[in-house]
């Protein structure tokens, strides 16, 4: 185990000042009954034998709370694939965290959901891959998923949890966005998150089948705007637009290493869920160090803190503390350099190329999907 | 825009929304699905009054007399603050019994 530096410095050696994190994503397993072709898990999945124990998680949650984390998002994979999920949840509540459960709804029975209620889950987010069985089951690669999800949503509201629907949209289901919003309202959801597929990892393998067209992106924006007016005071709509069609990039993680952190099933601590796609970046694990040391002193968290590391055109851009140069993983994927201006930004020299490639993918006739799978032996 | 709450209606924190202390930063916060909102003293004072029994009008009168402040000014502050939270589904409203 290599020593951590004594002072926090970015990848150029400039001093940086870590703030306290607010939120933690706890990916308690990579196992999942679904095989969504845009899964945010890495292409190299962690096996069950390497997963942290509930006692490990309880310690990590205590350290997170001491560091300033207020909310934990317990996710996966499918967190319900862990039989000891309630024990993990209880550890998070005992640490004083607000507990969000992010689930596919597959594999958690009503009795287990009641157990999770007693353990302290405060809010449930249910993923939606499409509307009706044809689309939902095809995208998730899981026959019967739609019926199971609808039953699960009823249990969530019967028990009384606040419900958020997570709808992931892309070229093959975007036309039916208003139906997804209507369904969420019927299910009694307080919120729906409409997120356009982010083209990293698995989704990048499926660009030609999933990339929305420019017209679809504009249509989705209009549907969201209309629904927000109609549903004011009844349901909140959060929207992540298609950034390949935007003028400016997304503010990645609200600033690298500034507000959030992600712990993977084996205890690796990441500044964002896709950070392992950045070549040459090394990550620490909670098996060897405290979360506080990792947050404050690890090279990975400090690499892109502050603004001193930014190249042009970010360095002199008035938006540098608004969007932080965009997404580092997207810069890695599209520019081959994690410190480059996110190529979806209209100020990036690669922007035209990125837009042309997105439009070519959007025009592709292919609908065939490469599903997320563990490699042999998983 | 249509008002989302009337003075005789009862505002309350629904399940999954709760007041909490942020001990690390020394702040009062409102914990809600996917969101932790920092509260100032006024916000904390208003939300601490939501007992699920009193209407917005009663809460306004109680706070006006406690802080010796003009009732119509307080009414506007409370209405605007609660409206923002109702829009975010962090405060629910029911009719008085």
What is the per-residue pLDDT across B54-75, written as a single tens digit (0 to 9) for each? Answer: 999 999 999 999 999 999 999 9
Q: How distant is the alpha carbon of residue A314 from its chain centre?
A: 25
Q: List the single best residue of A74, A123, A227, A232 to mutate versus B (max B Cβ within 10 A).
A: A123
Smallest CA–CA distance, residue B93 to chain A, in Å, is 10
Structure tokens at A188: 């009694």
| Nearest CB partner across the interface for B22, out of A70, A164, A232 | A70
Nearest to A10 by CA among A289, A275, A298: A298
Which tokens belong to A160?
């009384």
Strands A123-128 and A260-263: unpaired
- Cβ of residue B37 closer than 8 Å to a chain A Cβ: no
**Which H/E stretch holds residue A349?**
none
Shortest Cα distance, chain A CAs vs residue B15, angstroms: 7
Q: Which pLDDT value is given to residue A377? A: 42
Q: What is the DSSP string of A9-78?
A: B-TTS-B-------EEEEE-----S---TT-SS-SSPPPGGGPPPHHHHHHHHHHHHHHT--EEEEESS-
- The per-residue pLDDT for A194 is 97
pTM: 0.96
pLDDT of residue B23: 95
A120 touches chain B (CB under 8 A): no
Cβ count near A93 (within 10 Å): 16
Question: What is the structure's pLDDT at A181?
Answer: 98
**Residue partners of A377: CB distance under 8 A and separation at least 6:** A47
pLDDT at A91: 98
Predicted local confidence at residue B1, as pLDDT: 80
- pLDDT for the residue numbered A298: 97
Q: Searching chain A, which residue's CA lies closest to the CA of residue B18?
A: A98
User: Given A20, A122, A233, which is nearest B16 (Cβ)?
Assistant: A122
CB-nearest to B25 from A68, A98, A161 is A68
Q: Which of A193, A191, A108 minimizes the C-alpha distance to A155?
A: A108
Nearest C-alpha in A relative to B14: A162
Other C-beta atoms within 10 Å of A144: how many? 13
CB–CB contact A160 B1 (8 Å): no
Contacts of the segment B79-87: beta carbons below 8 A, 24+ positions apart: B79/B3, B79/B5, B81/B42, B81/B43, B81/B46, B82/B5, B82/B11, B82/B46, B82/B56, B83/B3, B83/B4, B83/B5, B85/B30, B86/A233, B86/B4, B86/B5, B86/B11, B87/A232, B87/A233, B87/A236, B87/B4
d(CA A146, CA A134): 9
Sign of CA dihedral A342, A345, A347, A351: positive
pLDDT in tens, chain A (378 residues): 778 899 999 999 999 999 999 999 999 999 999 999 999 998 889 999 999 999 999 999 999 999 999 999 999 999 999 999 999 999 999 999 999 999 999 999 999 999 999 999 999 999 999 998 888 999 999 999 999 999 999 999 999 999 999 999 999 999 999 999 999 999 999 999 999 999 988 999 999 999 999 999 999 999 999 999 999 999 999 999 988 878 999 988 889 999 999 999 999 999 999 999 999 999 999 999 999 999 999 999 999 999 999 999 999 999 999 999 999 999 999 999 999 999 999 999 999 999 999 999 999 999 999 999 876 443
The CA distance from A171 to the nearest CA of chain B, in Å, is: 27
Both tokens of residue A94? 């005992």
Contact A69, A116 (CB under 8 A): no
DSSP state letters, A238-288: EEE--GGG-SS---GGGSTTTSEEEE-TT-BEESSTTGGGSTT----BTTT
Contact A161 B16 (CB under 8 A): yes
- Minimal C-alpha gap between A232 and chain B (Å): 6
Burial class (CB in 10 A: 0-12, 13-18, 19+), A319: middle
Span B8-24, average pLDDT: 97
Determine how many CB atoms are found less than 10 A away from the CB of residue A346.
11
Q: What is the pLDDT of residue A147?
A: 96
3-class DSSP state of B4: coil
Strand partners, B27: B22
Sheet holding B27-32, edge to edge: B18-22, B27-32, B35-39
A25 DSSP β-pair partners? A73, A262
B1 touches chain A (CB under 8 A): yes
- Sign of the Cα torsion A334, A340, A345, A347 reads negative
Q: Among residues A365, A76, A40, which one has the least CA distance to residue A203?
A: A40
Contact B33 A66 (CB under 8 A): no
**Whole-number pLDDT of residue A352:** 95
Please count the other Cβ atoms lying within 10 Å of the Cβ belonging to residue A239. Answer: 18
A162 → closest Cβ in B4, B14, B36? B14
Q: Do A162 and B86 touch (CB under 8 A)?
A: no
Nearest CB partner across the interface for B34, out of A20, A100, A160: A100
Q: Does A123 touch chain B (CB under 8 A)?
A: yes
A236 touches chain B (CB under 8 A): yes
* A:B CB pairs within 8 Å: 61
Q: Is B29 on the interface with A (CB under 8 A)?
A: yes
A98–B15 C-beta distance less than 8 A: no
Contact A122 B29 (CB under 8 A): no
Coil, strand or helix at A192: strand
Give the DSSP H/E element, type plus range, for residue B71.
Answer: helix B71-87
Alpha-carbon distance values, B74 to A93, A216, B45, B96 (Å): 36, 46, 12, 21
Dihedral (CA of A218, A343, A370, A150) sign = negative
- Determine which of A97, A162, A227, A239 to mutate to test the interface with B (most B C-beta atoms within 10 Å): A162
Interchain contact A100–B (C-beta under 8 A): yes
pLDDT at residue number A378: 38
């Amino acid at each position: 185990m290599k020593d951590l530096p004594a002072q926090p410095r970015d990848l150029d050696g400039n001093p940086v000042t870590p703030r306290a994190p607010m939120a933690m994503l706890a990916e308690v397993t990579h196992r999942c009954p679904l095989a969504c072709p845009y899964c945010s898990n890495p292409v190299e999945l962690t096996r069950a034998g390497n997963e942290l124990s509930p006692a490990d998680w309880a310690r990590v949650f205590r350290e997170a709370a001491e560091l300033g984390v207020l909310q934990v998002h317990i996710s996966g994979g499918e967190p319900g694939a862990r039989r000891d999920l309630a024990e993990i949840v209880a550890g998070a509540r005992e640490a004083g965290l607000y507990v969000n459960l992010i689930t596919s709804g597959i594999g958690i029975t009503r009795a287990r959901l009641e157990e999770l209620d007693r353990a302290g889950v405060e809010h449930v987010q249910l993923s939606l891959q499409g509307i009706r069985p044809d689309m939902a089951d095809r995208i998730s690669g899981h026959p019967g998923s739609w019926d199971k999800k609808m039953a699960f949503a009823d249990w969530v509201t019967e028990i009384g949890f606040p419900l958020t629907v997570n709808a992931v949209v892309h070229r093959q289901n975007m036309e039916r966005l208003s139906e997804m919003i209507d369904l969420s309202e019927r299910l009694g959801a307080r919120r729906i998150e409409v997120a356009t597929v982010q083209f990293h990892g698995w989704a990048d393998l499926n660009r030609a089948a999933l990339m929305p067209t420019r017209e679809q992106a504009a249509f989705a924006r209009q549907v969201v705007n209309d629904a927000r007016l109609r549903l004011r005071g009844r349901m909140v709509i959060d929207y992540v637009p298609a950034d390949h069609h935007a003028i400016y990039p997304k503010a990645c993680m609200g600033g690298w290493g500034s507000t959030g952190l992600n712990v993977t099933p084996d205890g690796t601590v990441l500044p964002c869920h896709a950070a392992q796609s950045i070549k040459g970046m090394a990550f620490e694990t909670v098996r060897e160090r405290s979360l506080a040391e990792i947050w404050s002193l690890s090279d990975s968290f400090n690499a892109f803190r502050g603004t001193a590391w930014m190249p042009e055109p970010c360095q002199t851009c008035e938006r540098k503390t608004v969007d932080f140069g965009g997404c580092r993983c997207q810069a890695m994927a599209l520019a081959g350099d994690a410190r480059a201006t996110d190529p979806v930004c209209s100020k990036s020299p690669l922007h035209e190329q990125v837009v042309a490639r997105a439009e070519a993918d959007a025009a592709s006739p292919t609908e065939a999907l490469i599903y997320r799978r563990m490699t042999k032996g998983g | 825009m249509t008002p989302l709450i009337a003075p005789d209606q009862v505002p309350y924190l629904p399940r999954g929304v709760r007041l909490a202390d942020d001990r690390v930063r020394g702040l009062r916060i409102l914990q809600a699905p996917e969101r932790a909102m920092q509260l100032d003293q006024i916000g904390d004072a208003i939300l601490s009054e939501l007992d699920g029994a009193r209407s917005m009008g009663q809460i306004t009168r109680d706070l006006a007399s406690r802080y010796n402040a003009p009732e119509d000014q307080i009414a506007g502050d409370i209405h605007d603050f609660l409206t923002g939270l109702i829009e975010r589904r962090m405060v629910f409203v029911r009719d008085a019994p």
